[in-house]
Amino acid sequence: MTARPFVLASASPARLRLLRDAGLDPRVVVSGFDEDSLAISDPRELVERLAVAKAETVAAGVDGALVLGCDSLLVHDGQVLGKAPTPEDVVRRWRRLRGSEGLLLTGHCLIDTVSGQQVTAVGETTVHFGTPDDDEIAAYARTEEALAVAGPFTIDGRAAAFVDGIDGDAGNVIGVSLPLLRELLAKLGVGVTDLWS
């Protein structure tokens, strides 16, 4: 049986790496959707709508494929944090994050372009931040990673040393919850093993 074409509507190298490590080999089509165009105050609704918008944008241009759109945000002290716009903002955020915890939300939207069916879900993982000193934070703020990820932090990159632990799915923090993806695929009648390459 030939695997269904699978498309990842994301430029995130971490998402792609995670999916490939799980036996999936999606084609990447970046949506180009303007994330700042949605003004939604509820963070769960916002992250879900962003994932839907990215998936729908890409699905409109592909045929016969399953399209996965994702978006991640960090909720910390009631504030929603996506990507930091500047290195100075990275420093300000990390000074607030250190020694505290936040909730990482990742919206998932899976679209079957054959049937037109669409399913969505939001994964949640609690992140316990460590206590990097000012020099470490400044060094991190100078990296490309710091401006490319929500929060800004990673658990699979340079900032991993600054995270003391998590409660929940690690993949969700990296950018795709594989158990959640499996559930969404099942709702569309597709087994995750059917997509193994």
Q: What mean pLDDT, rounded, does the chain reach?
A: 95
pLDDT at 23 over 90: yes
Residues comprising the chain, all counted? 197
β-strand partners of 31? none
Closest CA to 85 of 25, 36, 157, 44: 36
196 falls in which pLDDT band (50, 70, 90)?
A: very high
For tokens 């918008």, name the residue: 53
Active site residues per annotation: 71
What is the per-residue pLDDT for 34? 83
State the average pLDDT over residues 27-54.
92
Contact 127, 103 (CB under 8 A): yes
Please say whether the dihedral angle defined by the alpha carbons of residues 80, 144, 70 and 9, taken in this order, is positive or negative: positive
DSSP, residue by residue, 84-115: -SSHHHHHHHHHHHTTSEEEEEEEEEEEETTT
Range scoring the smallest mean pLDDT among 26-40, 139-153, 171-185: 26-40
Torsion of CA 103, 79, 42, 187, to 10 degrees: -20
Closest CA to 113 of 48, 58, 192, 70: 58
3 falls in which pLDDT band (50, 70, 90)?
A: confident
pLDDT at 1 over 60: no
2 falls in which pLDDT band (50, 70, 90)?
A: low
DSSP code for 76: E
pLDDT tens, position by position, 116-167? 999 999 999 999 999 999 999 999 999 999 999 999 999 999 999 999 999 9
pLDDT tens, position by position, 60-115? 999 999 999 999 999 999 999 999 999 999 999 999 999 999 999 999 999 999 99
